[in-house]
């Protein structure tokens, strides 16, 4: 089928390529034309043009405002997509924004899934992403064959917005684990113990985790080149805190970690990997 993709960054580009490799005709649009270079795709001039050409359109852009602009703004997807077509938003945005966009599209008969993903750039390259879907179950089943080209675990969480709630929960747990690993390895170093050996010892016990394996290794090797840029986790935890405030839910641990991310941003490390939380601890 004709499939559109908007958002050709570290994760979006390999995701788009998987869809093209599966035999679909890929249509793309990007604010920076350079992002489309080398893609085996039809480059469109506006999101509306992609919408008019495609049965399903994926978005993988940064913020709630970005998704709203692409979907509903001037020359946005809504002005091109036909009734019965589907927008699959894989970006991490506010649940209320996902519901609002879905509502506006629904007025034109356009379906939407909020389908944020977890797994990072490597998961996008390997097509092993976890996909948390919010929207109508029947719509999910229509696009499931496409999603199966991108990830291994696809879970229908509930109606529109539910996928974004699940992603918020994912980010709470994951970034808390990154901070915990940073604090543990900082303590080891400050006590004069080899942090690499401590990580190796912990990996065989109840503290073992994917975060300890990947982020712990980056911290020990002091490899802070971005896997996922810390600025994105800073944005995500802001969404979490806003959702918690709206729901009246106390999230004290998340609030503390958000402050650490604020400090990281103030140090100018936002384009580093989130493993750079170790560097925040080392300044204190």
- End-to-end Cα spacing for the chain: 55
% pLDDT > 90, the chain? 96
Q: Considering the chain, what is the average pLDDT of its residues?
A: 96
197-217 pLDDT per residue, tens = 999 999 999 999 999 999 999
> Pick the residue with more confidence: 24 or 284?
24
The pLDDT value given to residue 94: 96
Question: In which residue are the tokens 């966009």 written?
Answer: 101
Total-model pTM: 0.94
Mean pLDDT confidence for 138-162? 98
Specify the length of the chain in residues: 284
225-275 pLDDT per residue, tens = 978 899 999 999 999 999 999 999 999 999 999 999 999 999 999 999 999
Identify the band that residue 88 occupies on the pLDDT scale cut at 50, 70 and 90.
Answer: very high
The pLDDT value given to residue 284: 67
132-146 pLDDT per residue, tens = 999 999 999 999 999
Neighbour-count burial of 269, counting CB atoms closer than 10 A to its CB (0-12 exposed, 13-18 middle, 19+ buried): buried
Mean pLDDT confidence for 18-23? 97
118-133 pLDDT per residue, tens = 999 999 999 999 999 9
DSSP string computed for 186-242:
HHHHHTT--HHHHHHHHTTSTT--HHHHHHHHHHHHT--S-SSBHHHHHHHHHHHHH
Residues recognised as catalytic: 167
Q: Are the C-beta atoms of residues 75 and 51 closer than 8 Å to each other? A: no
Q: Which helix (H) or strand (E) holds 76?
A: none
Question: In which residue are the tokens 């490799």 written?
Answer: 21
């Amino acid at each position: 089928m004709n499939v559109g993709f908007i958002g050709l960054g570290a994760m979006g580009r390999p995701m788009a390529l998987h869809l093209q490799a599966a035999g679909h005709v890929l249509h793309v649009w990007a604010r920076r034309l350079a992002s489309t270079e080398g893609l085996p795709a039809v480059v469109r001039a506006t999101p509306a043009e992609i919408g008019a050409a495609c049965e399903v359109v994926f978005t993988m852009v940064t913020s709630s405002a970005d998704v709203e602009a692409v979907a509903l703004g001037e020359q946005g997807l809504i002005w091109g997509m036909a009734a019965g077509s589907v927008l699959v938003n894989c970006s991490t945005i506010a649940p209320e924004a996902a519901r609002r966009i879905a509502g506006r599209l629904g007025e034109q008969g356009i379906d939407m899934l909020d389908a944020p993903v977890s797994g990072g750039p490597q998961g996008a390259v390997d097509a092993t992403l976890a996909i948390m879907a919010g929207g109508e179950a029947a719509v999910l089943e229509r696009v499931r064959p496409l999603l199966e080209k991108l990830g291994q675990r696809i879970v229908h969480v509930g109606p529109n917005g539910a996928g974004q709630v699940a992603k918020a929960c994912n980010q709470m747990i994951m970034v808390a684990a990154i901070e915990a690993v940073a604090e543990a390895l900082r303590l080891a170093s400050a006590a004069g113990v080899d942090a690499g050996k401590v990580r190796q010892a912990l990996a065989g016990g109840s503290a073992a985790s994917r975060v300890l394996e990947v982020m712990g290794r980056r911290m020990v090797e002091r490899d802070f080149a971005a896997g996922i840029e810390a600025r994105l986790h800073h944005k995500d935890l802001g969404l979490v805190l806003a959702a918690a405030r709206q729901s009246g839910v106390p999230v004290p641990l998340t609030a503390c970690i958000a402050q650490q991310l604020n400090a990281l941003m103030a140090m100018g490390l936002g384009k580093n990997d989130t493993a750079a939380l170790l560097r925040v601890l080392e300044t204190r």
